[in-house]
Amino acid sequence: MKLNNSLIEQDELALFLDYYELTGGKADFDHKNRDIITETFFFRKVPKHLGSYMIAAGLEQVISFIMNYRLSKKDGGWLKKTSGKDFNKDFLAYLENFKFKGDVYAIPEGTPVFPNEPILSITGPSIDVQLFETYILNVMNFQTLVATKASRVVNAAKGRTVLEFGARRAQGRDAAVLGARAAYIGGSVGSALVLAGKKFGIPYVGTMPHKFVQERDSEISAFREYAESFPHNAVLLIDTYDTLQGARNACTIGKELKAKGYDLKGVRLDSGDLFMLSKKVREILDFEGFKDTKIMVSSDLDEYKVNELVEKGSPIDGFGVGTRLITGANYNSLTKEGEVSALGGVYKLVEIKKEGKVIPKIKISEDIEKTTLPGKKQVYRIAESGTYSHDEISMWEELPPQGAKPLLVPVISNGKIVYDFPKLDEIKRRCGAELALIPDRYKKISGAETYPVKLSDRLSKLKQDLIEEAKSIERTIQK
Cβ proximity to a copy of itself: between 11 and 311 the closer is 11
Bridge partners (DSSP) of residue 378 are 394
- Least gap, CB of 328 to a copy of itself (angstroms): 8
DSSP string, 404-430: -EE--EEEEETTEE-S-PPPHHHHHHH
Of 264, 273, 259, 209, which is closest to residue 235 (Cα–Cα)?
A: 264
Query: In 3-state terms, what secondary structure has residue 297?
Result: strand
Residue 211 CB neighbour total at 10 angstroms:
9
67 is a contact residue toward a copy of itself (CB under 8 A): yes
CB-nearer residue toward a copy of itself: 132 or 388: 132
Cβ 107 to a copy of itself shortest distance, Å: 17
Query: Which CB sits closer to a copy of itself, 146 or 408?
Result: 146
Applying CB under 8 A, among 79, 147, 153, 438 the residue interacting with a copy of itself is 79
Instruction: Supply the minimum distance, in Å, between the C-beta of residue 201 and a copy of itself.
Output: 9
Looking at the Cβ atoms of 127 and 435, the one nearer to a copy of itself is 127
Q: Is residue 1 at the binding interface for a copy of itself, with CB under 8 A as the rule?
A: yes
Nearer to a copy of itself, 102 or 442 (CB): 102
- 368 lines the binding site for a copy of itself (CB under 8 A): no
Q: How far is the CB of 448 from a copy of itself (least distance, A)?
A: 20
Q: How many CB atoms lie within 10 A of CB 253?
A: 22
Sequence length of the chain is 479
CB 463 within 8 A of CB 363: no
User: Smallest distance, Å, CB 141 to a copy of itself?
Assistant: 6
Geometric angle at alpha carbon 387, from 384 and 389, rounded to 5°: 60
Helix (H, G, I), strand (E, B), or coil: what is residue 199?
A: helix
Determine, following the binding rule CB under 8 A, whether residue 95 of this chain makes contact with a copy of itself. no
- Cβ neighbours of residue 392 under 8 Å, at least 6 residues apart? 379, 380, 382, 401, 404, 453, 454, 455, 456
Residues 278-317 that bind a copy of itself (CB under 8 A): none
Taking the C-alpha atoms of residue 408 and residue 103, their distance in angstroms, rounded to an integer, is 12
Q: Does residue 389 bind a copy of itself (CB under 8 A)?
A: no
- Reduced to 3 states, what is the DSSP secondary structure of residue 237? strand
Q: How far apart are CA 377 and CA 397, in angstroms?
A: 8
Q: Which of 98, 288, 421, 422 binds a copy of itself (CB under 8 A)?
A: 421
**Interface with a copy of itself, residue 176, by CB under 8 A:** yes
Give the interface size with a copy of itself as a residue count (CB under 8 A): 131
In terms of CB distance, is 223 or 388 closer to a copy of itself?
Answer: 223
Q: Which of 111, 123, 141, 278 binds a copy of itself (CB under 8 A)?
A: 141
Pairwise CA distance, residues 362 & 414, whole Å: 26
Choices 289-297, 306-314, 359-367, 433-441 (CB under 8 A): range interacting with a copy of itself:
359-367
Q: Which of 159, 211, 260, 355 binds a copy of itself (CB under 8 A)?
A: 211
Nearer Cβ to a copy of itself (389/414): 414
CB atoms within 10 A of CB 226: 21
Q: Where are the beta strands (DSSP E) in 43-115?
A: 54-55, 103-106, 112-113
Of the residues 193, 297, 404, 427, which one makes contact with a copy of itself according to CB under 8 A: 193
What is the 8-class DSSP label of residue 387? E
Residues 453-472 that bind a copy of itself (CB under 8 A): 470
Does residue number 324 form part of the binding site for a copy of itself (CB under 8 A)?
yes
